[in-house]
Structure 1
Amino acid sequence: MRDVVILGSTGSIGTQALEVISTRGDQFNVVALTAGGANLELLAEQACRFRPRFVGVATDEAATELAAMLADTGIEVAGAGANERAAAMSCDVVLNGITGAAGLLATLTTLKAGTTLALANKESLVIGGRLVTDAAAPGQIVAVDSEHSALAQSLRAGRREEVRRLILTASGGPFRGRTRAELAGVTPEQALAHPTWTMGRVVTVNSATLVNKGLELIEAALLYGVDYDAITVVVHPTSDVHSMVEFTDGATIAQASPPDMRLPIALGLSWPDRVADVTPSYDWSTPRTWMFEPLDSEAFGAVELARRAGKAAGTAPAVFNAANEICVDAFCAGDLGFLGIVDTVEAVLNEHLAAGHVPDGSLTLEAVLAADAWARDRARQICGVA
């Protein structure tokens, strides 16, 4: 039996994690749930069903409302700082499913507590960089992203010194095959219509721009200690192969499964053990075709921009991520065009690298938070939403 804390329980990752847990009461016990507070009814429903000791939301006002909804349950309810309180609780694994940079403090708190971190909040690793990797014990971080889970599984096939490169697969999003000029008129509604995965708003737009794949590239380099030039991104529209590892003898090991996030979530909760029958497997008697094609970096420049930020390290990835989060909001509000997302992120990153960049050797939490705040303000200025 594993005691589990779920941060971001009402989001896509959190709800699917609870779906996995719901039929496996003999394997998992939920001890805490937290959420932003936008859907208090769902959070209260989850709390009543799974009976954690602790439930938290982002603000004290939302906590007061939630406490009234859970008045007869005996469950402790908290507001501001709830994520960090939950992350510090005694448990076997913390699933960080928070969206965006807001998950950094919870990630660091979990690592400090010595608890296994099932990491779906890639942004906290990306912006925290060596602050996160230095805080983690060997094997303490278990990736929940389907691509990084696939890499972890494939890396079992050989020794670290036998790895030649990592190959991240990308669906290509809803605009695969379009030229840069053809992307100019993309609307938020079109960007939110992902062809394969059902995800939250920010991650879905990031998948359309391929910023998400850029973040995953940085995450892969940090998680597995691989040089940025030894990570390749390829487009694989059906999302059957979730990523691959190429070894020095020429062998390539791929992890394939139907596109269902419950599989990497369950593996993150139970690592290194597998949870039986989480998702249906393929019917191998049915013909299938898997296609791979190169990434069009001219139309989708986010991956190479992320590679540049990752190589610069220090505060550069935090600026890349923070500027993007503001640009996604501006795009969804109709204040910024689709191409303007990555163009603005590039402009903000260029300014930061020219003046204000803090390198890895001098990196502190305060420097990361300051760079994050500066990048958000600068992106708002450029987008005209300051």
Structure 2
Amino acid sequence: MSAQRRIVILGSTGSIGESTLDVVARHPERYRVHALSAHQQMDKLAQQAAVHAAAVVVVPDDAARVRFTDAWGAGALPDIRVGAQALADTAADSDSDTVMAAIVGAAGLPAALAAARAGKRVLLANKEALVAAGGLFMQAVRESGAELLPIDSEHNAIFQCLPHGGQAGAPTAPARGVRRLILTASGGPFRNRDPHSLENVTPDQACAHPNWSMGRKISVDSATMLNKGLEVIEAHWLFAMPADRIDVLIHPQSTVHSLVEYEDGSVLAQLGQPDMRTPIAYGLGFPDRIESGVGVLDLARSGRLDFEQPDLDRFPCLASAYAALRAGQGACIVLNAANEVAVDAFLNGRLGFMAIARVIDAALEWHAGQRSVTLSSLEDILALDVQAREFAARHRLAKAA
């Protein structure tokens, strides 16, 4: 076996980060934690860094550094680095070879891109790296020779079902013989609700996902199915697949994680428990299969597997995501930025649930009327992201009423 892989986990206190540490701890001979990062939970970050002997931690500001230091027990402190630039530098430095990119939102984009440019094995759990910067990110992967392994359960499933397990890089054309990619979606907590009854649902109701344990923002995205729209955009970039060959099916059991349809009529599916440690272990071990801690899937006990087309009246955000993908990279940036603003407002009681879609559509309409801009650099992308957020924040009440 090769030498230990040295792991950086960006966003270690979130659900993906915790699951990654769980898998890593099962294979001490294979993996060593080099660096961890967190934005808020300094107590948890200190505990993780102590348990896993991290050499480096990255925190957002000096106040967080103080909280981390106060939470640290006996013994020498790790190297504490501060700020967004330190995060990107840590993702790119030569002391590691594998980066788990699990920071939620556009905040995770610069560090994920830095890891790709440095030629690392990038385990990509950050949707925005591809939604907002797909062309730039995939170009970086191709130029550096980075290994890119998708960690979202749906894209990881597709990767596993592609010919020869897929290639851990940046394809320029669809895999030979593949007709269609099919992403599955649980349908979230409102799969069977009348769309007219959703105006007054609460954040707690929207975050009560029936199958997966996730953070609040991504749980709301699941409830609106905007997350599936973002995954359609991701699949376009990851697998060089046009929008009209990427479909979505609601599958409430979350047992079939996605499917690949071939030209000969064969359909390959990846099945498993709804546990993120499975795709994480696949990404860490590729091309080997390693133990993940996930229990055996008992199909006899699982019973039936149901599939249905998504209702776009109930899930208008999904239709908006397809429209953004067809409109181009700028529209995808605006889609993501407006959604982050709208979901934050909803979670803080300042916006209704169904108004999230109206804020997104208003932002896309605003963008369509703007002069086209060049998106050839990270700075260009972040500038449009800021403009879209400002528009969504200014107009969320007027446009969402």
| Band the TM-score falls in, shorter-chain normalisation | over 0.9
Matched to 1:271, the amino acid is: F
Contact preservation (8 Å) 2:339, 2:360: yes
Counterparts in 2 of 1:1-386, with a 5 A limit? 1-36=4-39, 38-70=40-72, 72-81=75-84, 82-90=86-94, 91-137=96-142, 140-156=147-163, 160-286=175-301, 288-358=303-373, 362-384=375-397
Deviation at 1:68, TM superposition (A): 4.4
**Equivalent residue letter for 1:8:** G
Per the TM alignment, residue 384 of structure 1 is displaced from its structure 2 partner at its CA by 4.1
Residue 285 of structure 1 deviates from its aligned partner by 4.3
Contact 1:102 1:124 in 2 (8 A): no
**Seq. identity, %:** 43
User: Which deviates the most, 73-82 or 54-63?
Assistant: 73-82
Which whole-Å CA distance do the structure 2 matches of 1:327 and 1:120 have between them? 22
Q: Normalised by the size of structure 2, how large is the TM-score? A: 0.92
SS of 1:161's partner is coil
Give the conservation status (yes or no) of the 8 Å contact 2:116–2:146: no
**Structure 2: how far apart are the matches of 1:192 and 1:377?**
26
Contact conserved, 1:48 with 1:73, CA < 8 A, in 2?
no
Rounded to whole Å, the distance in 2 between the matches of 1:161 and 1:263 is 26
Tell whether the 8 Å contact from 1:61 to 1:79 is kept in structure 2 after alignment.
no
Length-normalised TM-score, structure 1: 0.95
Question: Against the structure 1 CA distance between its residues 182 and 370, is the aligned structure 2 distance closer, same or farther, given a 3 Å change threshold?
Answer: same
- Alignment CA distance shift 1:181-1:33 (3 Å): same
Q: How many residues in Structure 1 have an aligned counterpart in Structure 2?
A: 382
* Residue identity opposite 2:100 in structure 1: L
Question: Aligned-pair distance for 1:76?
Answer: 0.3
Deviations 1:203-225 (A, max 9, x none): 00000001100100000000000
Secondary structure in 2 aligned to 1:292?
coil
* CA RMSD in angstroms, aligned pairs only: 1.7
Structure 2 counterpart of 1:72, one-letter code: G
Deviation (angstroms), 1:139 = 6.4
Tell me the CA shift for residue 89 of structure 1. Answer: 2.3
Gaps of 5+ in 1: none
Match of 2:48, SS state, is helix
Question: Which deviations, in whole Å up to 9, do the C-alpha atoms of 1:216-247 show, x marking residues without a partner?
Answer: 00000000000100000000001000000000
**SS in structure 2 of the partner of residue 338 of structure 1:** coil
Name the CA distance, whole Å, in 2 between partners of 1:303 and 1:180: 14
Q: Deviations over 1:85-143 (max 9, x none)?
A: 22012222100110100111011100111101000001121101201111113662110
Alpha-carbon distance in 2 for matches of 1:50, 1:363: 39
Change in Cα spacing, 1:370 to 1:287, as seen in structure 2 (3 Å) is closer
- 1:217/1:303 contact within 8 Å kept: no
Report the CA distance between 1:358 and its aligned residue: 3.0
Runs of 5+ consecutive residues of structure 2 not aligned to the other structure: 166-173
CA distance in 2, matches of 1:270, 1:179: 43
Secondary structure of 1:255's counterpart equals strand
SS of the residue 2:180 aligns to: strand
